[in-house]
Amino acid sequence: MKKLGRVYLCALIVFLYLPIAVMIAMGFNYSPYYQLPFRFSTRWVDELLMIDDLIQAGRNSVVIAIITTVIATVLGTMAAVALHRREFPGRALLRMLLLPPIAIPWLITSTAMLVMFYWSGIGRGFHAMLIGHVALAIPYVVLVAGLQITDLEKAAMSLGSTPLHAFFRVTLPMLPPSMVGAALFAFAVSLDQFVISYFLATPGYTTLPVRIYSAIRKDFTPDINIISTILLLASMALVLLFALFSHFGARNDRS
Amino acid sequence: MPYPLLATGQDMNNPADLDAVKTMSRPVKPNLHTLWSSEDQWNKAFAANVFDMGLTWSGPSVRSVRNGGLPVKFVVPKEGAIGWLDRYKVFFLQPYMWQVALWSFQIAVATTLLCAVFGFLAALALTRSGLGRTRAVFLILILLPFWTNGLIRVFSWTMVIRQGGFMDALVQMVWPGAPSLGFLNTRSAIVLGLVHGYIPYMVLTCYIALSTIDDAIIEAAAALWARWWTIQGKILILMAAPGLVAGSVLIFVPVVGAFMEPRILGGPAGVTLGTVIEGNFTQAFNWPQGAAISFILLSVVLAIFATFSGVLRRNAQI
């Protein structure tokens, strides 16, 4: 039975990674029509560097992800501190209201944002996408940053510390590790975000996932595979970094 | 296009009725000056008396009056008008929309069931195979794709399951001259892509539920001569039930509104509520209709969350 379990897990992992491996390999296949048998070539890497708007879209993605990370991490960590430290009326409600943005399908969230932004005159484009990404990343930041906030402030105050002193000397120094984890998370969420960007993008300003989607819908050559591979590896690296940082899985390991 | 259809009493879903629209619209075409594409364009053209009468959205029209002082008014034609509530009526009165909703529902149910079976088995294997330290490695490997770009993962399946793709090449290697097994642009392809995308959810929720089961319970059951399937069926599945329910809700909700998987893997067969909403916003520019369907979908989602909120909350606390 135990052996069967391991075989099954390995099969599941093959299922999860096989298409990704094929996608990466096809980026190095010579045929523009994805024809097999496989013929190794790096022509698509060279061609990718020539496609300016693809490179530009990648740059836009990174810029939005960086700004989103800074804003969402600051706002989200402050919210997490407030939610964990203070008893105030409506706290339970506020905490519950964090979940819908994560759980409701992005399609609904983003069409609602589009209608709202258009109606209120915010419009579409870079600033609209940025608002959307920040709004989406904040709940994740609050949840991730909140995991590691412990209530030592009361302990400090019971030992004679003033509230302000306790905040600056006890709570604040404890924040950076959880903030780094939350920031990595926010960056990954923003970098991979497609649906919200898709509805809020303008023809002149897109992000990488939106650009990839429009290529897939119309016509594409394996250079799309190369850029997809880069994006995929970037987000995997971010998540692994996050896992290392937050000692993911270590606490659950009982055996 | 919908306006002449409605004006001439045609069926909006019957392509044959488009001829009637053509014969009716062509004579009045010279009266049509411009199809505006931005609020600014409309304002400038109207202020310059380029046209005598025009249509605009309600939001921009308020700004036209307030900022530009243009003589824009809200008018209900004496022949009647389509208000926002009518958009909801459209959804419920069109058999076609019911068909689309049914397809979306079928796809979501199939995806959720497949994820439940295979995800539960994976969680079982994770907890009960004596993996030790490698368990964390397996768990990270299973969860890692979940945090990568879903669009790219869906895209990568097209290269595997299309005719003459990787799967066909693999089969041809074993059995030269085999017929193509490619099934891109079918509903099965959509379900495959969705299962691939969402199964990590189910593995995680079931794993959390199963890892709280005390080994002593299983040992006690075995000591009392419980049969193997009694242990599997009565103890493990029942105790993992909160995880199964939570995982199912977390998968069903996004899947019922999915649009990029049906678009990319389903091709012409991939018409779902999600693609209809997307189409109304990005292609047909019928935002009110898209918003109406979106809101109907949201109410379904909220109803599901309300029904299972107890189970979800208990699961979140573990």
The answer to whether residues B71 and B107 belong to one domain is no
Q: For A231, which residue in chain B has the nearest alpha carbon? A: B149
Looking at residues B50-76, what average pLDDT do you find? Answer: 77
pLDDT tens digit sequence for B274-313: 999 998 888 877 888 888 889 999 999 889 888 887 777 7
Q: Chain A window 217-246: which residues touch B at a Cβ cutoff of 8 Å?
A: 217, 224, 228, 231-232, 235-236, 238-240, 243
ipTM summary value: 0.84
* Per-residue pLDDT at B34: 74
The answer to whether residues A76 and A120 belong to one domain is yes
The answer to whether residues B124 and B272 belong to one domain is yes
The number of residues in chain B equals: 318
The answer to whether residues A113 and A232 belong to one domain is yes
Distance from CA of B112 to the nearest CA of A (A): 15
With b meaning 16 or more CB within 10 Å and e meaning fewer, what string describes B220-247? eeeeeeeeeeeeeeebbeebbebbbbbb
Residue-range definition of the domain harbouring residue B59: 2-82
β-strand partners of A253: none
As a whole number of angstroms, the distance between CA B144 and CA A89 comes to: 38
The answer to whether residues B177 and B267 belong to one domain is yes
Higher confidence at residue B78 or residue B26? Answer: B26
Q: Is residue B311 part of a domain?
A: yes
The answer to whether residues A152 and A215 belong to one domain is yes
β-strand partners of A205: A202
Residues B258 and B278 sit within 8 Å (Cβ to Cβ):
no
* Per-residue pLDDT at B117: 93
- Judged by a CB distance cut-off of 8 A, whether residue A14 touches chain B is no
β-strand partners of A40: A29
Residues B139 and B207 sit within 8 Å (Cβ to Cβ):
yes
* Per-residue pLDDT at B137: 86
The answer to whether residues A103 and A148 belong to one domain is yes
Reduced to 3 states (helix: H, G, I; strand: E, B; else coil), residue A202 is strand
Q: Is the pLDDT of residue A134 over 70?
A: yes
Higher confidence at residue B290 or residue A151? Answer: B290
The answer to whether residues B25 and B146 belong to one domain is no
The answer to whether residues B15 and B102 belong to one domain is no
Looking at residues A180-187, what average pLDDT do you find? Answer: 86
Q: Is the pLDDT of residue B193 over 80?
A: yes
CB contact under 8 A, B129 and A2: yes
Which of A13-22, A161-170, B121-130, B256-265 shows the lowest per-residue confidence on average (mean pLDDT)? A161-170
Q: Is the peptide bond before A89 cis (omega within 30 degrees of 0)?
A: no
Looking at residues B26-48, what average pLDDT do you find? Answer: 78
The answer to whether residues A97 and A176 belong to one domain is yes
**Residue reference for tokens 């407030």:** A82
The answer to whether residues B40 and B62 belong to one domain is yes
Q: Which residue of A5, A16, A232 is in closest CB contact with B196?
A: A16
Residue-range definition of the domain harbouring residue A75: 50-245
* Per-residue pLDDT at B2: 62
Q: Which residue of B128, B155, B199 is in closest CB contact with A228?
A: B155
Q: Is residue B237 part of a domain?
A: yes
Looking at residues B21-42, what average pLDDT do you find? Answer: 77
Q: Is the pLDDT of residue B106 over 80?
A: yes
Residues B166 and A36 sit within 8 Å (Cβ to Cβ):
yes
Tokens of A82: 């407030």
* Number of helices and strands in chain A (H, E): 13, 0
**Residue reference for tokens 């990488």:** A208
* Per-residue pLDDT at A78: 87
Angle at B35 between CA B32 and CA B36, to 5 degrees: 135
**Residue reference for tokens 């090449």:** B169
The answer to whether residues A75 and A197 belong to one domain is yes
Question: Averaging pLDDT over each range in A43-52, A105-114, B203-212, which range is the top one?
Answer: A105-114
Identify the CATH number of the domain in which residue B123 sits: 1.10.3720.10
Q: Is the pLDDT of residue B178 over 90?
A: no
The answer to whether residues B186 and B76 belong to one domain is no
The answer to whether residues A96 and A11 belong to one domain is no
Phi, psi (5° rounding) for residue A166? -60, -40
User: In 10 A of CB A89, how many CB atoms?
Assistant: 7
Q: How many domains does chain A have?
A: 2
User: In 10 A of CB B111, how many CB atoms?
Assistant: 27
Read off the amino acid at residue B133: R
Of the pLDDT bands very low, low, confident and very high (cuts 50, 70, 90), residue B1 is low
Residues A226 and A207 sit within 8 Å (Cβ to Cβ):
no
Say which DSSP state A250 is in: T
CB contact under 8 A, B136 and A121: no
Instruction: Give chain B's mean pLDDT.
Output: 81
* Per-residue pLDDT at A253: 40
User: In 10 A of CB A144, how many CB atoms?
Assistant: 23
Residues B128 and A5 sit within 8 Å (Cβ to Cβ):
yes
Say which DSSP state A125 is in: S
Question: Averaging pLDDT over each range in A222-231, B23-32, B83-92, which range is the top one?
Answer: A222-231
Read off the amino acid at residue B60: P
**Residue reference for tokens 């062509």:** B26
Of B38, B54, B82, the one marking the end of a domain is B82
Using a CB-CB cut-off of 8 Å, the residues of chain B touching A19 are: 153, 156-157, 159-160, 196
Q: Is residue B88 part of a domain?
A: no
Q: Is the pTM of this model over 0.95?
A: no
The answer to whether residues B69 and B171 belong to one domain is no
Q: Is the pLDDT of residue B318 over 60?
A: no
Q: Is the pLDDT of residue B66 over 90?
A: no
